[in-house]
Amino acid sequence: MKDGPRPCIADTDAPWREIVRGHQDPGSPRTTVLLVCELAEQHDGDHVDHIDSMAQGIDAWVRWNDAGRVTYAVNRSCGAEDPTAEGMGREACFCWLPTGHPLAHSWEIADHG
């Protein structure tokens, strides 16, 4: 388990939950219907969950607030380099949270556990 700020883990039902449940074929791959915030605990502003990597560091995100307002954003990933990641592999070296995210970078946030 990684030490560092705890993850926010606020969650909400995805806006597409009922559509998926009503139209999903038996045996088809499961689709995410619960969004979980990926930012550090006690962040300001909207919660965010990554939903798709589009191309070359451009990602689709769902944002929601505590009042239940949901929006979508297409944004580049932060891309800040982890100065302690030497030899850990390319994915571990860069922050994958959206550009302009508050508080800690992805590698600083403790694992769920």
Q: What is the pLDDT of residue 1?
A: 44
The helix (run of H) or strand (run of E) holding residue 31 is none
Q: What is the pLDDT of residue 63?
A: 93
Tokens matching residue 18: 């009922």
Please list the rounded mean pLDDT of every run of 10 residues in the chain (113 residues). 76 75 69 84 92 84 90 90 71 82 88 56
The C-alpha atoms of residue 33 and residue 53 are separated, in whole angstroms, by: 18
